[in-house]
Amino acid sequence: MQKYIWLVPLLPLIGAAINGLLGRKLRFSEKLIGGIAVGSVALSFLISLTAVYSYGFGGHPEWPKPYVTSQDGFSFNWIPGGAVSINHGAEARREAESQKQVEEKLAAMTPEERSQTHSILTATVDSPRYALLNIEWSYQLDPLSSIFMLIVTGVGLCIFVFATGYMHGEAGFYRFFAYMGLFMFAMLVLVMGSNFVMMFVGWEGVGLCSYLLIGYYFDRQEAANASRKAFITNRVGDFGFALAIFGVIATFGSAQYTDVFQQAKSFPIELIGHWGVLSWIALGLFIGACGKSAQLPLHVWLPDAMAGPTPVSALIHAATMVTAGLYMVTRTNVIFQHAQTMLLVVALVGAATAIFAATIGITQNDIKKVLAYSTVSQLGFMFMACGVGAFAIAIFHVMTHAFFKALMFLGAGSVIHGMHHEQDMRRMGGLKKYMPYTYWTFMAGWLAICGIIPFSGFWSKDEILWKSASMTYIPLGWLVWLIGTIAATCTAFYMTRLMAMTFWGKEKFLEGAGGEADEAHASAYDKGLAAHDAVQPSAGDRPRHEPGEHVGPVHEDAAHHVATHGHGEGHHGAHIPHESPPSMWVPLAVLALLAVIGGFVGIGPAFRSVTGSEHPGGRLNISTWLNPIIWNPETREFNSAEGAHEAAPAETAHGEAPATAEGAHGGGSGYGDVGFNIAHSVESSTHSELATEWIFIIISLVVAGIGMLLGGLFYVWRPELPNIWAQRLRPLYNASYNKYWVDEFYGLVVTRRTMDASRGVYAFDSKLVDGIVNGLAWLSRQFSRVVGGVDKYFVDGLVNTIAAFIVRLMSPLFRAAQTGLTQNYALVMVLGLMLAVAAFFAKDVAGAVQSILGSLRPN
Amino acid sequence: MLNLFSPTLVLLLQEAERSRIAQMLDQMRQAAVAPDLSKFLVIGALLFIIGVAGVLTRRNIIVIFMSIELILNAANLNFIAFSRYLQQIGSPNALAGQIFTVFVIVVAAAEAAIGLGIVIALYRNKETIWVDEIDLLKW
């Protein structure tokens, strides 16, 4: 079955092409469009499922080596590149090599010889290597891409089904599903491609689809701005990524993952303080990852991206596309693990993003904004895991996060749908009575993201925190752990707040505009909006602009809204929310199930007394499953396939966690001494690894509980508290509410300065360059005026005189020749023919005449 | 002119005097029974010249048509003659000339049909078939 994985990206593309090219022209019904889109994704999912099953569990001969479709000929030579020179090591390596050779020669000589030959001593250096660069279009099936295939198609399928219900009645139904299908194609190319260039194609493809889908309501200024912002911010990251790809090709002479990683294995590890070629590549890759996965300097686009339809937010901006950065970092873990500085940077950026976004999430009032900041924060967690070297756990969190965050976004979509396009949580409340399915499924997501024990989020988040405390790949692991723990508390708090404001408490939509105490500190814009809403009778169907959002002038045209949000026309009067149709809550239920049980594939070593194994489940355990693609800096090889079950040496046998825990004791992790490690400090006092792990598990459970209790306290039991505390912590509250003014900062420092620079360049262009050009134009105009005069009066006069003379002379002749009688013309033709014949045969005729005459002459 | 022809007459007289008339007659008879290629070519050329002269000199358009037919038939005669000649020397491709002749006849028939149609149309408009009164090509 794995032969046919090339169909997996192709099918959604075909579906998208049918919907996009024909959907409008042939006026497809919504059922047909939805059927095509969902059907193609469902087929892809089935193919992925069978392919992954037969690859991993069906005794596939390739396991655990990557299976590339070119082995079976399902590929083509996409970019025939030809020979490239590989300058890896570059100048420095050459210098060092020649230096060494000279020294060796010197050492081998006697002192006398040395004094004689020193000046003429030369060294031979390898000429630059060459490689044949051919970039093929083939798909790769390996543990990492299988997980992403299943996430993308599986979660994607749920979201597609949901979208058929959510997008019902939208004007551009076909357009929506065409973009979504295109997105699936691009995302699958990204995760299934077998080389960096294909990943880049997918990378740009998902960026494009993200742009198109954020700007789906392109008639709304806010959405159009958000889509541009996303696109431009991603360009920054893509620039780094592209440079990194060039670096990879220049260094390794190939873009194929298998080739590159085989070569990269033998490079020396660049510890902190050393900055070599792999660090540069890793830096470029990480800049790309920052852009796509919304990490700290480049995170600004993701919250704004919520202007797109909610299924888009769920699929692209929570479950799949934003995890592309994680995919890339994990895919290139060999390179990252060779650059310790970059590991540290990844971990710190991840931690900073986690806490930064989590604190913003606390004060946001738009339900989708809260989830967006939550997503940014969770992505930060994943990068933390990558940074400390726990790549498998990062992917584990990608997976669980895909489940519960897609669930929560879809739940939010269901709420918005049920509330007739109301997104402000201050106008919700008490919805559990009206939307039971949505409520209970959302509850599962809430418990999962908070990290309560049997739910999926617990397993991955706890593992991340434990790994950051215990891994010894980088220094400052304790700081990462501390920040992560605080961020986890914040997560639990704002998620509880979201639950409380949305589903519990008073039904505020019955009271009309107004609402929670937060309103009191809203910005001037927000106040204006509130006043406006009070005038408008239907608060439910207003455009989705958020308080404090600088969206520019918004057109409040009622007819326009009805046109954009097609449904809800009939039931404007009734503000009572309603439960969503089955096409929406069934996917919710499926995702809720996954959010509850999804974590069991990654039960960590701490539970070995319960489960009887470090990584229970064999290959079904995500750590074991991902082992073959993770490079181990101790053995300097990729991990063995069945790590946990083989009786290999103690350092490598248990996958990562124990390996590093024990390796650190021996100091053999390949990264040198990294200083204080909190887990080891605890362990040295408890003298038991198991107890240490449990201490950290309990800490993470306790902080989750604290967060939830605080949330309950603030928003359920004592609803007046938020107001009081917001007043007390006014500066902090404002900073968080205004997202730390990052947008304003960028606006001032980047956008304004770019505009200034553009204006300067424009002034230069319009004044100086155009001035020169215009001056030259004026000069040449004057000159041509003179030339024109000369030409007109002198040259033309001359020509005309001569021409007139000739015409007068010749015209009677020519006029007479043209009689119009066919016979005359024919006569001329015959005469001409005779002339031609005469000229041609003149010699023969003369000869013949002569011979006749000669024969006639009497001899 | 007289200078040119007088030696011929002298020659002919001399031949007669040498009583080779019988020999000549024999040759002529032989030539009549199995004429060689050049004779056909000469007749073809004559036909062609007559045709061209007709086209160039006659005023009646119908006669011009007939002259054109003469030209075509001159060509046909050449084809047939060469075909026969090639047959005599045993060339494998001897039939080509005859086939061409058939083609030419067909084309001539078609041309005559169209041409006569044109003539009728012309007559209806101009009420004449004298070509020197038709000088439309001037315009």
Gap from A825 CA to chain B (nearest CA, Å): 9
**pLDDT given at position A645:** 40
**Structure confidence at residue A127 as a pLDDT band (50, 70, 90):** low
CA distance A22 to A303: 33
Lowest mean pLDDT among A190-194, A642-646, B125-129: A642-646
- With a cut of 50, say whether residue A551 has pLDDT above it: no
The pLDDT value given to residue A593: 93
Give the whole-angstrom CA distance, residue A491 versus residue A704.
8
A83 has a pLDDT exceeding 80: no
Q: Give B6's pLDDT tier (boundaries 50, 70, 90).
A: confident
Instruction: Please state, for a pLDDT cut of 90, what percent of chain A lies above it.
Output: 41
- Rounded Cα distance between A394 and A148, Å, is 12
Asked if B29 and B83 sit in the same domain, the reply is no
Q: Which of B56, B59, B61 to mutate to test the interface with A (most CBs of A within 10 A)?
A: B56
The residue of chain A nearest to residue B54, with distances taken between CA atoms, is: A823
The SS3 call for residue A426 is helix
pLDDT (mean) for A282-311? 91
Mean local confidence (pLDDT), B35-53: 90
Coil, strand or helix: which one is A137? strand
Confidence of residue A56 (pLDDT cuts 50, 70, 90): confident
Average pLDDT, integer, range A59-70:
82
Q: With bands split at pLDDT 50, 70 and 90, how would you rate the model's confidence at A133? A: confident
**Residue A530 Cα to chain centre, angstroms:** 36
Answer for the pair A316, A156: CB distance below 8 angstroms, yes or no. Answer: no
Angle at A69 between CA A67 and CA A71, to 5 degrees: 80
Place of tokens 């990492």: A144
Q: Which tokens belong to B120? A: 């009728």
Asked if the Cβ–Cβ distance from A820 to B139 is below 8 Å, we say yes
Same domain, B30 and B12: yes
Residues B18 and B67 in one domain: no
Contact: B11, A822; criterion CB under 8 Å: no
A858 touches chain B (CB under 8 A): yes
**Cα–Cα distance for residue pair A612/A645, rounded to 1 Å:** 12
**Contact check, Cβ <8 Å, A856/B131:** no
**B14, B24 contact by CB (below 8 A):** no
The Cβ-side half-sphere exposure at A7, using a 13 Å CA radius, reads 16
CA separation, residue A329 to residues A138, A196, A382, A855, B40 (Å): 21, 12, 10, 108, 97
In DSSP terms, A137 is beta-bridged to A76
Q: How far B9 CA lies from chain A's nearest CA (Å)? A: 10
- Give me the pLDDT at residue A545, please: 41
In chain A, what are the helix, strand and coil shares in percent, each to the nearest 5? 75, 5, 25
Residue A130: predicted pLDDT:
72
Chain B residues lying within 8 Å of A825, measured CB to CB: 137
Q: Are residues B3 and B25 in the same domain?
A: yes
- Distance CA(A377)–CA(B105), nearest Å, equals 95
Determine the pLDDT at residue A93. Answer: 59
Query: 3-state secondary structure string, A55-67?
Result: HHCCCCCCCCCCE
Per-residue model confidence (pLDDT) at position B79: 93
User: Looking at residue A147, what is its pLDDT?
Assistant: 92
For A83, the enclosing helix (H) or strand (E) is: strand A76-86
Q: Using the beta-carbon criterion (under 8 Å), do A826 and B139 form an inter-chain contact?
A: no
Task: Provide, as residue numbers in chain A, all residues whose Cβ is less than 8 Å from the Cβ of B52.
Answer: 830
Largest CA distance in chain B: 68
Residues B104 and B47 in one domain: yes
Nearest to B137 among A822, A827, A858 (CB): A822
Q: How far apart are CA A170 and CA A417, in angstroms?
A: 12
Per-residue model confidence as pLDDT tens digits over B49-69: 999 999 998 889 899 999 999
Q: A841 in contact with B at a CB cutoff of 8 Å?
A: no
Q: Specify the pLDDT at position A356.
A: 92
Are residues B98 and B43 both part of a single domain? yes
Q: Are A390 and A471 in contact (CB under 8 A)?
A: yes
| Residue range A62-88: mean pLDDT, rounded | 79
pLDDT of residue A128: 59
Distance CA A759, CA B56 (A): 83
For chain A, the straight-line distance linking the first and the last C-alpha, in angstroms and rounded, comes to: 106
Residue A619: per-residue pLDDT: 80
The answer, yes or no, to whether residue A660 has pLDDT greater than 60, is: no
Residue A265 pLDDT > 80? yes
pLDDT band at A519; cut points 50, 70, 90: very low
Distance from CA of A813 to the nearest CA of B (A): 15
Residue with tokens 């003539």: B119
Minimal-distance CA residue of chain B relative to A825? B56
DSSP conformation letters of A1-65? -GGGGGHHHHHHHHHHHHHHHHTTTTT--HHHHHHHHHHHHHHHHHHHHHHHHHHHTS--TTTTS
What mean pLDDT is reported for chain A? 82
Residue in A450, A542, A626 with CA at minimum distance from that of residue A220: A542
Distance from CA of A828 to the nearest CA of B (A): 10
Contact between residue A461 and residue A381 where contact means Cβ atoms under 8 Å apart: yes
Answer yes or no: do B28 and B82 share one domain.
no
Cβ of A238: how many Cβ atoms within 10 Å? 19
Nearest to A821 among B10, B132, B139 (CB): B132
Residue A738: what pLDDT?
A: 85
CA–CA separation, A325 vs A394, rounded Å?
Answer: 11
Query: Within an 8 Å CB–CB cutoff, is residue A818 touching chain B?
Result: yes
Q: Distance (Å) from the C-alpha of residue A804 to the closest C-alpha of chain B?
A: 23
The CA distance from A816 to the nearest CA of chain B, in Å, is 11
How far CA A204 is from CA of A6, A291, A420, in Å, comes to 19, 12, 34
**pTM, full prediction:** 0.70
Interface contact B137-A830, CB threshold 8 A: no
**A825 and B7 in contact by Cβ < 8 A?**
no
Mean pLDDT of A672-686: 83
Compute the distance between CA of residue A251 and CA of residue A268 in angstroms, rounded to an integer.
Answer: 14
**Subunit contact A826:B8, Cβ cutoff 8 A:** no
Type and span of the H or E element at A532: helix A524-535
Of the ranges A49-53, A165-169, A224-228, which one carries the lowest mean pLDDT score? A165-169
Do B44 and B26 lie in one domain? The reply is: no
Name the residue among A309, A34, A79 with its Cα closest to residue A195: A79
For the ranges A150-164, A455-469, A628-642, the lowest mean pLDDT is seen at A628-642
CA nearest B52 in A: which residue? A830
Of B7, B8, B135, the CB nearest to A819: B135
Tell if the CB–CB gap between A818 and B131 is shorter than 8 Å. no
Q: Which residue in B52, B61, B136 has the most chain A C-beta atoms within 10 A of its own C-beta, making it the best mutation to test that interface?
A: B52
A/B interface, count of CB pairs below 8 Å: 35
Residue of B nearest to A859 (CA): B11
Q: Who has greater pLDDT, A789 or A533?
A: A789
- What pLDDT is recorded for position A94? 62
> Shortest CB distance from A823 goes to which of B7, B131, B138?
B131
In this prediction, residues A611-624 reach a mean pLDDT of: 80
B76 in the same domain as B28: no
Show the tokens assigned to A202.
């997918």
Burial A512-538 (b: 16+ CB within 10 A, else e): ebebbebbeebeeebeebbeebeeeee
Q: What is the mean pLDDT of residues A728-744?
A: 86
pLDDT band at A122 (very low <50, low <70, confident <90, very high): low
- Does residue A854 belong to the interface with chain B, where contact is any CB pair within 8 Å? no
Min Cα separation A824/chain B (Å): 8
* Short-list A450, A447, A445, CA closest to A461: A450
For A48-57, A109-118, A202-211, B126-135, which range has the lowest pLDDT when averaged over its residues? A109-118
pLDDT at A560 over 50: no
Task: Show Cβ contacts of residue A133 under 8 Å, excluding neighbours closer than 6 positions.
Answer: A81, A82, A83, A84, A249, A253, A254, A255
DSSP state of A656: S
Which helix H or strand E contains A714, and what residues bound it? Answer: none
Domain count, chain B: 2
Q: pLDDT at residue A650 above 70?
A: no
Q: What is the mean pLDDT of residues A653-657?
A: 40
Residues B96 and B130 in one domain: yes
pLDDT score at B16: 66
Please judge whether A821 and B7 are an interchain contact, meaning their C-beta atoms are less than 8 angstroms apart. Answer: no
B139 pLDDT tier (thresholds 50, 70, 90): low
Hey, where are the domains in chain A?
A: 82-107+121-137, 520-564, 741-817, 819-859
Range of the domain at B25: 1-34
Q: Are A322 and A303 in contact, with CB atoms under 8 Å apart?
A: no
Which residues of chain B neighbour A822 with C-beta distances below 8 Å? 131, 134, 137
Report how far apart, in Å, the C-alpha atoms of A748 and of each of A100, A110, A360 are.
53, 69, 21
Q: Do A822 and B138 touch (CB under 8 A)?
A: no
Give the pLDDT confidence of A379-429 residue by residue, as tens digits.
999 999 999 989 999 999 999 999 999 999 999 999 988 888 888 888 888
What is the number of other CB atoms lying within 10 angstroms of the CB of residue B66? 15
Taking an 8 Å cut-off on Cβ atoms, the answer to whether A858 and B137 are in contact is: no
Contact A165, A584 (CB under 8 A): yes
Q: Round to whole Å and give the CA distance between A466 and A451.
A: 13
A857: left (phi over 0), alpha (psi -120 to 50) or beta: beta
Q: How many CB atoms lie within 10 A of CB A386?
A: 28
Q: What pLDDT does A35 receive? A: 92
Residue in A334, A339, A305 with CA at minimum distance from that of residue A322: A305
B65 and B78 both lie in a single domain? yes
Residue B81's CATH number: 1.10.287.3510
Q: Are A616 and A604 in contact (CB under 8 A)?
A: no
pLDDT at A64: 79
- Same-domain pairing of B13 and B69: no
pLDDT for residue A654 is more than 60: no
